[in-house]
Structure 1
Amino acid sequence: MLRDLRTLCTVLAELGDQADEPGLSGNTGQGRLIANRQVTERLSPTDIKSLIDLYLAGTTARALAERFKISPTSVKRLLREHGVRRGSPPAEAA
């Protein structure tokens, strides 16, 4: 039984070492890594202005998400943070 326990510990230690290899931790299973950066770190101020202008021109949040490589939720949050609603001009950014 002690031998089995040692074998198990060895296997678990090896698996723990693999988690430190690049590309394994945070993998979504679709070949993409989870990005923990803020949207404002990934998009320039020019990109954000373009996103807002496109949204006000009628582009959907889903289409904008695909275009700017962010989630639809991030698009909506960014628009909300900038006070943007369809049919109204964007609020001044702080």
Structure 2
Amino acid sequence: MNILARGLPDTSLTVALASGGREFYGWGADRHMQADLYDALNQNTRATGHWQKKAPDIAPYPRPTPKTAPAERPKTKTVAELYRGFN
């Protein structure tokens, strides 16, 4: 099963549950790079703009956050733990 799970796309629910929870579902490398690009463009716009008074505060792109701190998360999850996450 481990070999099959490694072949799953990074946007799959199984990979999301192994990464920290359902909030990571659909967040593959491409979406993370797009969010980083969005933030970089906004920071560039804010830094190089000619503002009359004050530069506007541009909120960063919302990203999923794990429910627990990274140090507290287990490094690996068993198949049974992943299955419990589906239910």
TM interval, short-chain normalised: under 0.3
Return the index of the structure with the highest Cα Rg: 1
Q: Counting helix residues as a fraction of each chain, which structure ranks higher?
A: 1
Larger relative CO (CA 8 A, sep 6+): 1 or 2?
A: 2
